Structure 1
Amino acid sequence: MAKRKRKEKHEEHMDESWLIPYADLLTLLLALFIVLFAMSSIDANKFQMLARAFNSTFEGGTGIMEYPSPLPDGEMEELDVTKTEPKEQQDQEHEKLKEAEKKINDYISKKGLNDKLKTSLTDEGLLITINNDILFESGSVYVRKRDEDLAKEISQLLVMEPPRSIIVSGHTDNIPIQNAQYDSNWELSVMRAVEFMKLLLTNPSLSPELFSAKGYGEFKPISSNKTTEGRQKNRRVEILILPLVQKGQQNPVSS
C-alpha cells in the first residue's frame, strides 16, 4: 500500500510591514494633540519649544509644525508678556499712574480743593488723601449730603483702563470718640471707609470686586496730634490705587 504523501502544512506568516506606518501615524496624532493643547493654552514660549522639537524630529514633506506660530507674524511677540522685563513693566505702570495723578490734580485745581485733597505717587501706588472735614460731621460715618456729589466726582477719576485694585482706608486723630454708637476711633474709621467706598461704587464703571476697605483709627498719623492743625490732617480718608505690576512681582496682575 503506497504511503500517502502528507502535505506539509506551512504556517502562513502575516505581513507586518503595515506596523511601521501605523506607528508613525500614532506618533503624528500624539504630536497633533500636544500641539492643539499648546495652542489652546496660548503659551507662546511652550509652543515655540514644541515647534522646534517636532520640526527636528519629523523630517521630510510638509509637517504639521511647518510654521513656527499659530498666529500671524508679530502677534506671537505681543502675546508673549514674558519677553518684557519686570522692571520695564513697572516703569510703564508708573507712567500710567503719573497720568492718572495729573488728571486728578487738574480736577483738584479746577475745583479749588488744594487744601482739602492731595495726591502722592508712592511705592505702593497712587495715593489720594481727602480731609475728613469735607466729608463727615464729627462722630458720623455718613458722608454729608452736600459732599456726596464730590465723592461721586472722585469716583469718575478712579475709572482706568485696565481697571486697578483700590483700597479705601479711614483714619482719625487720637481724641477718644464720645459716641454711644461706636466704641472706638478704630471702629469709626472702618465704617467711614466703608460708607465712602459705597458712594464710590454707585459709579457703574467701577468694579466692586476690585475694592476693599480698611480702618486704622488713630494708629497711622501723618502729623502730630498735639496741635489742632495736626489732628485735622490725621482725620482723613485715603484712596490707594494699586499698580498692575508691583515690586517683586514677576508678571502683571490680571484683570
Structure 2
Amino acid sequence: MSKRRRKKRGEKHGVNESWLLPYSDLMTLLLALFIVLFSTSMMDAEKFQQMSQVFNGIFLGGTGQIDYQNPVENDDHSKDNPNAGETSEQENENQEEEPILDLEEQKELEEIQAKINSYIKENKFNNRFATSLTGEGLLLTIRDNVLFESGKAEVREEDEITARELAKFLEMDPPRNIIISGHTDNVPIQNAHFSSNWELSVMRAINFMKILLEDKNLDPRWFSAKGFGEYQPVGDNSTAAGRAQNRRVEVLILPRVKSEEK
C-alpha cells in the first residue's frame, strides 16, 4: 500500500511542459523582429513601411504604426557620398513640383514661340532676347539693356516700339494669363528714385506692362506684374556676364487651362 501511495504522489509532482509552446512562439516572433530591424539598414523606405504594417498587425493588432525616420544608406554608398540621400530627396521634390503641359497646350505655345523666335531672328535680337518652353508655360526673357537705362525704370522712348511689337504676339483668343516680372543683379542701388533693387525691378515690370497694354486688343484683367529684385538670379553675380544675365524682364505666358481656372 505504501508503495502505491508514494507512486501516486510522485505522479502529482510531474513537470508540466505546456508553457513551452507559447514561449517558443514568442521567441520566434522576437527573432523575426530583430532580423527585420537589422535588415532595415539595407532596405528602402517603401519596403520598410510595408514590413512595419505587417508587424503592427502582429504586435499591436493593427492599431499603431512603427515610427519611421530614415533608413541608413548602404555603407559603401554613404561613405562615398554622404549627401546622396539628401540630393535624391531634392531631385524627387523638383520632379514632383515641375508641372507638365498637355499636348494641346504645348502645341499652341510652341506656335507662339516660333513666331516670337522669328521676330527675334529678323531683328537680330538673339543676344538680347530668349524664349523657353517649360511646364509653367512659355517664357520670354528680355535683357534690361534692351529697354532701360542703367538704374532707371522707364522704357527708353526709342525702345517703346519693341515693346509694342511684342504686344502683338500676346493677342490670343481666348486670352491667357500673362505675368511680367522684373529682375536685377545684386549690386546695391540707392538713388533719388529707388532705395533698393526690389523697387527697381517692380517698377520696370509695371512700366513695361503699361506699354504692352497700350494695345487695345489686350485685356488688362489677364496681366499682372511682379518684382523679384536680385533674389532669382540665372547667372553668377560675381562676374560681369552673369550680372548682365540677371538684369532682365521676363514675360511668362501661362497655359490656358490655368487661365480658365483662375
TM bin, normalised by shorter chain, reads 0.5 to 0.7
State the SS of the aligned residue for 1:245.
helix
Question: Which shows bigger deviation, 177-186 or 144-153?
Answer: 177-186
1-structure distance, mates of 2:116, 2:190: 35
Note if 1:127 corresponds to 2:139. Answer: yes
Take 1:113 and 1:161, find their aligned partners in 2: how far apart are those partners?
27
Q: 1:80-119, aligned counterparts within 5 Å? A: 90-119=102-131
> Which residue of 2 is the match for residue 182 of structure 1?
194
Tell me which amino acid in the other structure corresponds to 1:103. K
SS state at 2:210 partner: helix
CA-to-aligned-CA distance 1:151-186 (integer Å, 9 cap, x gap): 000101111122111000000000000312211000
Q: Are 1:202 and 2:209 counterparts? A: no
What letter matches 1:161 in structure 2?
D
> 1:231 and 1:179 mapped to 2: Cα distance?
19
Residues 175-210 of structure 1 deviation map (CA, whole Å, 9 limit, x = unaligned): 000312211000100000000000000001111000
Q: CA deviation digits over 1:37-72, x for unaligned, max 9?
A: xxxxxxxxxxxxxxxxxxxxxxxxxxxxxxxxxxxx
In the TM superposition, what is the alpha-carbon distance from 1:254 to its structure 2 partner?
6.0
% identical aligned pairs: 53
Q: In the alignment, which of 131, 139, 157 is matched to residue 145 of structure 1?
A: 157
Q: Does the CA-based 8 Å contact 2:101-2:255 persist in structure 1? A: no
Distance 1:89 1:98 in 2: 11
Q: How many residues of Structure 1 are paired with residues of Structure 2 in the alignment?
A: 164
Q: Please tell me whether the aligned partners of residues 89 and 245 of structure 1 are also in contact (alpha carbons under 8 angstroms).
A: no
TM-score (norm 1): 0.62
2:203 to 165, 184, 191: 191
1:253 aligns with 2:260: yes
Distance 1:150 1:89, change over 3 A: closer
The runs of at least 4 aligned residues of structure 1 exceeding 2 Å deviation read none
Q: Which has the higher contact order (CA 8 A, sep 6+)?
A: 1
In 2, Cα distance between equivalents of 1:167 and 1:152: 16
- Report SS of the residue matched to 2:257: coil
Task: Look up the match of 1:232.
Answer: 244
Q: Aligned match of 2:233 in 214, 221, 233? A: 221
| Unpaired segments ≥5 residues, structure 2 | 1-99
Structure 1 residue ranges without an equivalent (≥5): 1-87, 247-251
- Aligned equivalent of 1:34: none
Q: Say if 2:182 and 2:248, in contact at 8 Å, map to a contact too.
A: yes
Match among 167, 171, 177 for residue 155 of structure 1:
167
The 1-side partners of 2:175 and 2:128 are apart by 26
User: What is the CA–CA distance in structure 2 between the aligned matches of 1:94 and 1:245, rounded to whole Å?
Assistant: 11
TM-score (structure 2 length as normaliser): 0.60
Matched residue type, 1:144: R
1:90–1:245 contact (8 Å) kept in structure 2: no
Partners of 1:221 and 1:165 lie apart in 2 by: 24
- Alpha carbon RMSD of aligned pairs, Å? 1.9
Question: Aligned equivalents of 1:151 and 1:104: distance in 2?
Answer: 12
Residue by residue over 1:127-169, the C-alpha shift from the partner in whole angstroms, topping out at 9 and shown as x without a partner, is 0000001110111110001100000001011111221110000
Amino acid corresponding to residue 253 of structure 1 in structure 2:
E
Q: How many angstroms does 1:236 deviate by? A: 0.1
